[in-house]
């Protein structure tokens, strides 16, 4: 929904904003980190679960959206039964999920999380190991199509379902300013579809081309975009 004025206006900066506004938000953050390994480390699927929530839940609160998306994924993967959480909250009988997390996986996840809580991680670990172990970084199977300085245009259409192509840059011209390596393709990864890793670029857009006369003069917007979203200008 980024950039859609029917939902949001100006971004308001909150002075001295806390990490969490309420203690339950921190618990949701911790739950998500600890359970993602059991869900296949698939952050794209978690985002897609959030996007399929009812409008009133999706727009209500950032971490409420996280919690509802996590509950959806736990039910979809068999760790929770259908409506198990609602039934337990109502004090009624619940149909339990059949899937369980093994002790070995729980112990491994716990050790990794403790490691991530260290004040400073070794550079080789943070830069090379964790992105592949916990993230979606993967080596590309073919060379990249674009280089820094190339002029591109974002394709005119957006894929149905989950996509990381923002609506407000669709069809807009830009310039490649960085190549960020390659990762699993979110559009496919979110729904469990096999797809080759895709190159990821940072693209700079002139703010006036995106927002028109209401844009702040002499500014640009930078967006990370996957190669399938782009075409040569």
DSSP per-residue string spanning 11-32: PPP-TT--S-SSHHHHHHHHHH
Q: Is residue 43 part of a domain?
A: yes
Q: Is residue 135 part of a domain?
A: no
Domains in the chain, number: 2
Residue 223 has pLDDT above 90, yes or no: yes
Task: Note whether 194 and 158 are within 8 A (CB).
Answer: no
In this structure, the answer to whether residues 89 and 160 fall within a common structural domain is no
Last-in-domain residue among 101, 116, 141: 101
Tokens matching residue 109: 């996840």
Confidence of residue 1 (pLDDT cuts 50, 70, 90): low
CATH number, domain of 60, equals 1.10.472.20
pLDDT score of 22: 96
Q: Is residue 60 part of a domain?
A: yes
Domain that holds residue 74: 23-101
Q: Is residue 131 part of a domain?
A: no
Q: Is residue 14 part of a domain?
A: no
Residues of the chain with pLDDT > 90: what percent?
A: 58
In this structure, the answer to whether residues 97 and 31 fall within a common structural domain is yes
In this structure, the answer to whether residues 94 and 166 fall within a common structural domain is no
Confidence of residue 193 (pLDDT cuts 50, 70, 90): very high
pLDDT score of 115: 78
In this structure, the answer to whether residues 156 and 95 fall within a common structural domain is no
In this structure, the answer to whether residues 164 and 227 fall within a common structural domain is yes
Alpha-carbon distance of 111 to 55, in angstroms, equals 37
CATH number, domain of 171, equals 2.30.30.50
Alpha-carbon distance of 153 to 136, in angstroms, equals 25
For residues 65-93, average pLDDT: 92
Q: Is residue 222 part of a domain?
A: yes
């Amino acid at each position: 929904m980024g950039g859609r004025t029917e939902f949001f206006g100006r971004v308001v900066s909150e002075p001295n904003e806390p990490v969490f506004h309420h203690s339950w938000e921190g618990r949701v953050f911790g739950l998500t980190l600890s359970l993602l390994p059991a869900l296949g480390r698939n952050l794209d699927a978690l985002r897609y679960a959030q996007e399929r929530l009812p409008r009133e839940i999706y727009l209500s609160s950032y971490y409420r959206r996280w919690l509802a998306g996590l509950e959806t994924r736990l039910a979809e993967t068999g760790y929770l039964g259908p409506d198990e959480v609602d039934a337990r909250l109502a004090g009624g009988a619940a149909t339990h999920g059949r899937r369980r997390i093994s002790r070995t996986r729980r112990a491994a996840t716990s050790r990794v999380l403790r490691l991530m809580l260290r004040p400073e991680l070794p550079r080789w670990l943070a830069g090379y190991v964790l992105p592949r172990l916990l993230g979606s970084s993967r080596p590309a199977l073919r060379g990249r199509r674009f280089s820094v300085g190339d002029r591109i245009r974002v394709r005119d259409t957006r894929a149905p379902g989950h996509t990381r192509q923002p609506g407000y840059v669709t069809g807009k011209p830009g310039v490649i300013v960085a190549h960020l390596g390659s990762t699993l393709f979110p559009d496919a990864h979110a729904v469990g579809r096999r797809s080759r890793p895709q190159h990821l670029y940072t693209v700079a857009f002139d703010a006036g081309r995106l927002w028109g006369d209401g844009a702040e003069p002499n500014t640009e917007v930078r967006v990370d975009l996957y190669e399938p979203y782009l075409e040569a200008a």
